[in-house]
Amino acid sequence: MSTATRSLPRTIGAHAILLTYTVIALFPVILVIMNSFKSRAGIFGAPLTPPTPKTFDLIGYTTVIGQGDFIHYFQNSLVVTVASLFFVLLFGAMAAFALSEYRFRGNSLMGLYLALGIMIPIRLGTVAILQLMVASGLVNTLTALILVYTAQGLPLAVFILSEFMKQVSDDLKNAGRIDGLSEYTIFFRLVLPLVRPSMATVAVFTMIPIWNDLWFPLILAPSEETKTVTLGAQLFLGQFVTNWNAILAALSLAIMPVLILYVIFSRQLIRGITSGAVK
Partner 1 sequence: MAADIRPKRPFRWHIGIFLAPAVLVYTAIMILPLAGTLQLSLFRNIEQHQVFVGLQNFRMLFGDPNWSVGFWNALRNNTWFFIIHMVVQNPIGVMLAALLSSPRLRFAAFYRTAIFVPTILSFVIVGFAWKLILSPLWGVAPHLMDLVGLKSLFTPWLGKEQYALTALSLISVWQFVGIPMMLIYAALLSIPEEVIEAAECDGITGLSQFWKIKLPLILPSIGIISILTFVGNFNAFDLIYTAQGALAGPNYSTDILGTFLYRAFFGFQLQTGDPNMGAAIATMMFLIILGGVCVYLFLVQTRLRRYQF
Residues numbered 192 to 251 that lie near partner 1 (CB under 8 A) are 208, 211-215, 219, 230, 233-234, 237, 244, 247-248, 251
Closest residue by Cα to residue 99 from 203, 191, 181: 191
3-state secondary structure of 55: coil
Neighbour-count burial of 263, counting CB atoms closer than 10 A to its CB (0-12 exposed, 13-18 middle, 19+ buried): exposed
Determine, following the binding rule CB under 8 A, whether residue 60 of this chain makes contact with partner 1.
Answer: no
- For residue 51, give the DSSP letter: P
Closer residue to partner 1 (CB): 170 or 184: 184
| Closest distance of CB 150 from partner 1, Å | 5
Binding-site size, partner 1 (CB under 8 A)? 97
- For residue 120, give the DSSP letter: S
Report the site for partner 1 in 1-40 (rule: CB under 8 A): 1-2, 4-6, 10-11, 14-15, 17-19, 21-22, 24-26, 28-29, 31-32
Q: x/- binding map, residues 110-139, to partner 1, per CB under 8 A?
A: x---x-xx-xxxxxxxxxxx-xx-------
Report the site for partner 1 in 145-184 (rule: CB under 8 A): 147-148, 150-152, 154-155, 158, 182-184
Phi-psi region of 106 (alpha: psi -120 to 50; beta: other; left: phi over 0): left
Closer residue to partner 1 (CB): 62 or 182: 182
Closest residue by Cα to residue 232 from 2, 122, 73, 124: 73
Residue at 82: amino acid letter? V
Closer residue to partner 1 (CB): 30 or 172: 30
